[in-house]
């Protein structure tokens, strides 16, 4: 190689290196950062426009791109004017001044160059801790029937669970919630998107109502002679702990439930897009896919076949993956173990809100979760989520979780701003964002 050729080669390598660095920087810069504003936890704090303006400016300065504003908390009330649902005007004894809450978020956010996603809790209509919500007032029939080790009961009787979830196949509830979505989308034509939360069953215990019994029989085209034991029973071990024992129809039941959730997601997308085709259709779910069949959710790509990896999935289960229905997907990487190495050392395991059993494995760390999610989502993007109050006693973990999510996923979702404010964790947030973008 002569000297001229050598110089040209060095120049070419330099140019390619610069291009590579620029592409990498652009990729990091283009990642979405979502800050969640919970309805109940922030009810009093954000009951005036000055507070909304102050914190929107604050998150914009940190590099956030979206505000996720919760407008249908678990009570089933809403934080906007709807002809189909009651408006939440008071919470914990505080009455909010009458102003356009979501409208002001949109107005200020758009001035700052932020997008606004309106979040709604879907298959829930009551708060069990306070006996408040639609299932406690006008629609007790919506409440899910749960099959517990102690027998059948309304979920409203399970006071250890704060969410009074509804039966996802109840046709009157589905009509109600779709009407609420339509009210929202029509009322706010400049809204950037919606994020659906709690689009699921309560857990493996739900729903065992007679409505579900009959609908399942129609799905499998035969009678279920022994309901619910043909599906599952509760068995006690030697330590007195209850575990699910699968019946002969368990897998078909699991398949049917995830079809119900898929069908709703498809219907909801079609409904809101008919009103505003430009509206982003998104959702939030937990990241714990290996056990999320317990709530009827399959957020994977239809190109992924879970039956090859998990014994709970039928060959048809993959038909109900809804990743391709989504414009924006945020998942809760709610783990205090950050790296795969951390998860491998964890012998205690993780048990999330919806799990019936403790889970152990590489999936249950932020890094491991993101890498597994890449496989099941295929080419579909996802935002890795952080639950701030998990790190109250270990703030440096918050920084590390944020950094890992930004490194391994397509963006970041932080739940919730109230936790940051209460513990003044803004520096930890900023440090995580800076580290994640290096």
Q: Which residues contact 423 (CB under 8 A, 6 or more apart)?
A: 388, 392, 395
Q: For residue 28, what pLDDT is reported?
A: 55
At 179, list the tokens. Answer: 């009407």
CA 428 to CA 413: how far, in whole Å? 15
Give buried/exposed letters for 197-207 (b at 16+ CB in 10 A, else e). bbbbbbbbbbb
**pLDDT, position 430:** 98
Burial 33-48 (b: 16+ CB within 10 A, else e): bbbbbbbbbbbebbbe
Distance from C-alpha of 146 to C-alpha of 143, rounded to nearest angstrom:
9
Amino acid 328: pLDDT: 98
Q: How far is Cα 250 from Cα 257, in angstroms, rounded to an integer? A: 11
- We report the CATH number of the domain holding residue 417 as 3.20.20.80
143 in a structural domain: no
Reported as a single tens digit per residue, the pLDDT across 115-159 is 999 999 999 999 999 999 999 999 999 999 999 999 999 999 999
**Structural domain of 347:** 32-128+167-202+250-436
C-alpha to C-alpha distances, 81 to 77, 122, 380, nearest whole angstrom: 10, 17, 34
The CA dihedral of 331, 334, 335, 340, to the nearest 10 degrees, is: 10
pLDDT given for residue 251 in this prediction? 98
Measured over the CA atoms of residue 294, residue 300, residue 302 and residue 307, the dihedral's sign is negative
User: Is 24 contained in some domain?
Assistant: no
pLDDT at position 231 is 98
The per-residue pLDDT for 30 is 80
Q: Where are the beta strands (DSSP E) in 128-241?
A: 145-148, 151-154, 163-165, 193-197, 232-236
- CA nearest to 260, candidates 199, 349, 325: 199
Whether 244 is covered by a domain: the verdict is no
What is the token pair recorded at 122? 């879907």
* DSSP bridge partners of 69: 37, 118
- What is the token pair recorded at 94? 């505080």
State yes or no: cis peptide before 301, omega within 30 of 0: no
Total domains, the chain: 1
**Residues in the chain with pLDDT < 50?**
1, 3-26
Q: Is 96 exposed, middle or buried (0-12, 13-18, 19+ CB in 10 A)?
A: middle
Contact, 200 vs 222, CB < 8 A? no
Alpha helices per DSSP H over 30-124: 49-62, 101-112
Q: Is the residue at 228 inside a domain?
A: no
For residue 213, being part of any structural domain is answered with: no
Q: Is residue 399 part of a domain?
A: yes
Instruction: To the nearest 10°, report the CA torsion of 239, 287, 36, 398.
Output: 70
Inside any domain, residue 192 = yes
Condensed to tens digits (0 to 9), the pLDDT of residues 28-59 reads 568 999 999 999 999 999 999 999 999 999 99
Residue 282 lies in a domain: yes
């Amino acid at each position: 190689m002569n000297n001229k050729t050598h110089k040209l080669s060095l120049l070419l390598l330099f140019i390619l290196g610069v291009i590579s660095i620029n592409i990498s920087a652009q990729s990091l810069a283009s990642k979405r950062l979502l800050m969640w504003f919970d309805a109940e936890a922030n009810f009093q704090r954000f009951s005036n426009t000055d507070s909304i303006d102050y914190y929107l400016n604050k998150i914009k300065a940190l590099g956030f791109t979206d505000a996720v504003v919760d407008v249908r908390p678990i009570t089933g009330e809403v934080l906007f004017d709807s002809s189909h649902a009651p408006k939440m005007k008071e919470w914990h004894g505080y009455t909010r001044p009458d102003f356009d809450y979501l409208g002001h978020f949109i107005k200020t956010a758009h001035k700052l160059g932020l997008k606004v996603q309106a979040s709604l809790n879907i298959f829930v209509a009551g708060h069990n801790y306070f006996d408040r919500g639609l299932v406690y007032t006008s629609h007790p029939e919506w409440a899910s029937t749960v099959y517990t080790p102690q027998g059948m009961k309304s979920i409203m009787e399970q006071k250890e669970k704060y969410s009074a979830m509804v039966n996802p196949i109840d046709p009157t509830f589905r009509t109600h919630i779709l009407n609420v979505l339509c009210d929202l989308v029509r009322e706010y034509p400049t809204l950037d998107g919606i994020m659906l939360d709690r689009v699921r069953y309560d857990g493996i215990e739900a729903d065992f109502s007679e409505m579900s019994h009959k609908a399942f029989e129609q799905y499998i085209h035969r009678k279920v002679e022994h309901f619910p034991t043909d599906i599952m029973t509760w068995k006690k071990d030697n330590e007195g702990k209850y575990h699910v024992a699968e019946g002969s129809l368990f897998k078909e039941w699991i398949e049917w439930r995830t079809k119900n959730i898929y069908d709703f997601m498809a219907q909801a997308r079609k409904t809101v897009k008919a009103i505003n085709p430009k509206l982003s259709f998104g959702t939030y779910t937990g990241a714990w896919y290996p056990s999320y069949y317990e709530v009827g959710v399959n957020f994977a790509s239809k190109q992924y076949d879970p039956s090859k990896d998990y014994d709970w999935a039928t060959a048809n289960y993959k038909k109900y993956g809804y990743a391709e229905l989504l414009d924006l997907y945020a998942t809760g990487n709610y783990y205090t173990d950050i790296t795969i190495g951390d998860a491998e050392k964890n012998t205690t395991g993780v048990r999330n809100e919806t799990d019936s059993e403790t889970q152990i494995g590489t999936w249950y760390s932020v890094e491991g979760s993101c890498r597994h999610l890449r496989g099941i989502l295929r080419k579909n993007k996802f935002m890795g989520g952080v639950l701030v109050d998990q790190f109250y006693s270990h703030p440096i973990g918050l920084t590390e979780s944020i950094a890992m999510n930004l490194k391994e996923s397509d963006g970041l979702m932080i739940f919730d701003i109230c936790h940051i404010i209460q513990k003044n964790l803004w520096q930890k947030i900023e440090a995580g964002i800076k580290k994640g973008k290096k």
